[in-house]
Each structure stands twice: as C-alpha cells, then as structure tokens.
Chain A
Amino acid sequence: MSKIQKIKLCLFIFFIIAAVVFAILFPRLTLPFGFAYIIYIMAHPLTILLTKGTVRQRIWYSFLFLLATLFLLFPVFATVYNANTDLSGLSKQLPEIQKIIQDKFFLFKVNFFEKYGIRVNLDPVNFMMSKLEFFGSDFVSRFPDYLSSVFEWILLVPMFLYFFFKESGNLGTKLMEAIPNPIFEKAYVLFSHFNTKFGEYIIAKFVEAAILGTLVTVGLLLIGFPYPFILGFVAGITNILPYIGPVIGFIPAFGIALLSKDPTVSMWGMVIIYTVANLIDMILVFPLLVSKIVNLHPIVVVVSIIVGSQLGGIVGMIVIIPFIAFFKILFIEIYKDLSVNI
C-alpha cells in the first residue's frame, strides 16, 4: 500500500470513529435520525414499486413523505388527546386501586401468619404510593423537557425522512466515493448487505408484531376480556423486543385480571390466549419470518438488548439486533480473508 493510500485509509477510519463518537455524544440527533431511517427502510419496497411507474419520482417521494409523516404524527396527537382523559380516569381510580391492593395484601398477611406463624410487618402499599408520588412529581418537573424532545422529534424526523426520500440511492453512492480503494469492494458489499438485512429485519419484526397483536386482540375479544384492542396493540408493540418483549406485553393484561372485580374477567383464559399467541409466534411466525434474517444465539440476543437499552433506550433495543448480526457477518468475512491469506 502506498503512502497516499495509507493516509486516505487513516482519514477514512478517523472519519468513521468521529461519526460514531458524534452519534454517542448527541443521542438527541442520532435517535430521530435512526428512527427516520427505520421508516425510510420500511417504505423502501413501496418506493421501488411506486417509482417503477410513469409518475415522476419526486411526486411519489413527496407522497411517501406525507404518508410517513402522518403515520408518525398520528400516534403523537392521539396520545396527547387521550392522555388527559386517561390520566384523569386513573387519578379517580387510584384510591380504589390502592384499597384493592391493600385488601389483597392484608389477606396475604393473614394467610401467611396462619400457615407459617410469621408476622409480615411490611407495608408495600404505602411504599409504592410514595414512590408513585415521587415519580409523578419527577415527571411533572421534567415534563417541559419531555415536551421539547417530542417537538424535536416532530421537527427532526420528517426533515430527515424527506432528506432520505429525496436523496434515495444517490446519498449512498456519494458516501461510498469516500471509501479508499483497498477496502472499497468489501465495504460497499457489506454496507449494502447490512442495509438489506436491516430493512428485512425491521419489516419482519413489524409484521410479526401485527400478527401477534391480532391474535391477542381476537382471543381477548372472544373471551370478553376488557380493553382487547389496547392490550393487543401493547402485546404487538412490545413483541418487537425479542425474549423480553412478550413478558412486558403480558404485564398490563395480568394487572387488569388481578385487579378486576368483574367475575367474567378470566385470568386463566387470558393466560392461555397470551401463551397460545406467543407459542404460535415462536413456533411458526418467528422461524418463518425473522430467524432466517438474524441468526444469533439467544444469549447474544439478550445481552445485545441490554446493551442497546443502555445506549439508545427503546430504539436502541430494537436496532441493536441487526447491528450485532452485521458485526457477526463482518467478523466472519475478516476471518475468511485472514484464513485465505495466512
């Protein structure tokens, strides 16, 4: 390798490291950027389909951009609109919930004393309420920050999205020009491979979430469980997170079944529905849709999710898996090259 090539390679590596450091230091920019990229990737098959026609590309990109923006803004406005009603409802129900928990815990203490002769002197209800009050006041004090970050996302995500749609393939080609000659072929192919796998993974996870959400909703509707649509939606969305997701998705339904006084609300029916839906997901949907794309050991997946949540919260938990899959491919490629050259 000549001296100029070495300098070019060093500059390129420096640029990559600087980009990674920037991404870690400024998550307020990188997270909306990543989210916009996920939406762009999800819309990619639609982009190809639409741009095959005779209508000008820019019109389709504008249409897609509007569609994606609506898709993005709808949950924000829907949440803001419903949050007030839900919160006032919750504040009215809170004393009732507190009483139910206190009664149940009192019964537990009595039973425990009768069975084992040991008196339980804990008062978890007051402890929980004080914690809840603390979180509530903390949330109120931080509310302006949350609101500003929501508006930041509303501003930044559509902006990045428009940029992705407009530049489409050109951006990648322009960035690729900066790659030094000795590593160009491999870097370009790996980058393209990652892009394809990432898009496939995100789409597969959302399809999987939609299937599981539908199964849970239909099941809960059939047994007459309350809030089937919301619970189905929560089960679907949380299912995007591998392994941990189904457990998180189950908690709200379990809480409702536990606290409900209505005799028609069946705890066992709900448990069976969640179990069957998750079994269908594990045995049928996941192997057919997702596992072919990301072939990682379960322990690697769990550790990756924890690392992802540390780095980038919920978005980090979702996107870390294809990144790890990419690094696996990268290491295999480097290993193969080394074994040929040694």
Chain B
Amino acid sequence: MSFEKEMMEKISLGEGTSDRLDIPLLKYLWEASPLSFLAKESYHEFFKKISVLSSFSDNEVRIFTKYLHRREFTTNEVIFRQGDSGYGFYFIFSGAVNIYSSHSTLNSDDPGDLIVRLEKRQYFGEMGLLEEFNRRTATVISAENTILLGIFKPDLERMLEVHPVLGAKFLRETALIMANRMGQLTREIVSLKKKMKELDQRI
C-alpha cells in the first residue's frame, strides 16, 4: 500500500492525521521526489530499483531504511573474512566488492580465488542474517571506495517486534534471495556433474 493510500484510508476511517508538519517525512519526500536535483540518489530510489524489494510500498521503504547502517569502506578494505561470525546482510549503495573463496581455513592474508565481483544494487551476506551460528563462507573485499547499507540480526529482531508486517515481508524477500541462490547453485552442480560425466566418458 502506498503512503498516499494509507493516509487516504486513515482519513476515510475518521482516524485523522496530525495537523503538524512532519519534518523527517517532508525531508524524505523531498529526497524521494524524481524532480529533486539535490540528492544524488536517495535510499528510496536505491531500494526501489532493487528487484527483490520492489514489492515494498513507499512507506515501507521509508521505515526499512531506518534500520539500516551506512558503512564506508576504502579500496581493498576487508569487509569480512571467510570463517568470521556472520550477523549481517549488505546492499551495495555505491562502489563494488570482490568475493573470494579459499580452500584453506587458516586465517592468512591471501583471500583465495576471486569468485565474483558485485556492483551497485547487488547484495551479499544474507545467510548471516538468517542462520543462528553463521560462519562466512567467503571473504569480501571492497574493489573501490564503497558504501554499504547493512542490516543485522538485532535490527531484524527489532523490526519484527515493532513493525511485524514489514519484518515478515523482508524475511520473505530474503528467503526468495536464498531460494534464487539455491536454484543457481543447483543448476551449477547439475552442469558440473554433466561435465564430469562427459570427462569420464572421454577418459
């Protein structure tokens, strides 16, 4: 439901709205306006362009952004290492990150092989948000000056407590992300098995 609809519904139910100016809301609407030339890109615009969160209403995005933590990383700064305890899910607001995986469990400076490069509006670390005792399965290093928006386990718990509908919706979207990744993994495993079979036959 959009914010406008929500307000109209409140008025029709006779709940009324405050006659006082809500400065944070006005600031948010100003930043969210497509005509606004001041803001480079607001959180609102950013999340509206992320496909998995597209089902969020304007008001839900506004509330959701209150739970996020903005973290800035310089080039080649380690965001987290393989084997670290994981508690958070990150969206790339600007910049890019490289994801590495190593066969060794030892904590060395070598991050391992480059798996993938993720750029603006992509996300990583969703397992850390859902698993109880999560260990990061890869090392993530910023490829350039990067701004990440992170949401962590305590934020999700607080969101479920204060805004349960939004919390449940976010969990559903996170589950969808996980399902997509699982599907991708399954396809890769099938393809690898096929290639192995072909190799076996050739040998």
**A residues in contact (CB < 8 Å) with B:** 1-2, 4-5, 48, 51-52, 54, 56, 169, 173, 176-177, 181-182, 184-186, 188-189, 192-193, 196, 333, 336-337, 340-341
Contact = CB atoms under 8 A, between A and B. Distances in A.
Contacts of B83: 340-341
Contacts of A186: 85, 87
Contacts of B18: 56
A4 B74 contact: yes
A189 B87 contact: yes
Contact of B74 (A2, A189, A340): A2
Q: Binding site of B, secondary structure by majority: helix, strand, loop or mixed?
A: mixed
What are the 8 A-B residue pairs with the smallest beta carbon separation, nearest first?
A192-B154, A341-B107, A189-B87, A185-B87, A340-B83, A185-B88, A48-B162, A188-B152
A170 to B, nearest CB: 9
B106 to A, nearest CB: 8
A181 B69 contact: no
12 contacts: A2-B77, A4-B74, A5-B77, A51-B162, A56-B18, A173-B69, A177-B70, A184-B69, A186-B85, A189-B152, A189-B153, A340-B135
Contacts of A5: 77
Given A2-B77, A48-B162, 10 more contacts: A2-B76, A4-B74, A56-B18, A169-B66, A177-B70, A181-B71, A185-B87, A185-B150, A336-B85, A340-B83
A4 B72 CA distance: 13
Nearest to B66: A169
Interface in B130-157: 135, 150, 152-154
Given A54-B15, A340-B135, A188 B69 contact: yes
A52 B88 CA distance: 26
A173 B78 CA distance: 22
Contacts of B106: 341
A169 B163 CA distance: 14
Contacts of A2: 74, 76-77
Nearest to B153: A189
A185 B162 contact: no
Interface centre among B10, B83, B153, B154, by most A CB within 10 Å?
A: B154
Contacts of A177: 69-70
A182 B85 contact: no
A52 B158 CA distance: 12
Contacts of B78: 1, 182
A185 B140 CA distance: 14
B195 to A, nearest CB: 33
Given A182-B78, A188-B152, A337 B85 contact: yes
A186 to B, nearest CB: 7
A178 B23 CA distance: 26
A55 B162 CA distance: 15
Given A54-B15, A188-B154, A341-B83, A181 B88 contact: no
Given A181-B79, A189-B152, A193-B154, A52 B162 contact: yes
A184 B71 contact: yes
A3 to B, nearest CB: 11
Given A54-B15, A333-B85, A189 B77 contact: no
A188 B70 CA distance: 13
Nearest to B72: A181
Contacts of A341: 83, 106-107
B200 interface: no
Nearest to B76: A2
Interface in B29-83: 66, 69-71, 73-74, 76-80, 83
Contacts of B69: 173, 176-177, 184, 188
Interface string B79-101: 11001111110000000000000
A192 B106 CA distance: 29
B161 interface: yes
A177 B87 CA distance: 17
A182 B152 CA distance: 15
A6 to B, nearest CB: 12
Interface string B4-22: 0000001000010010000
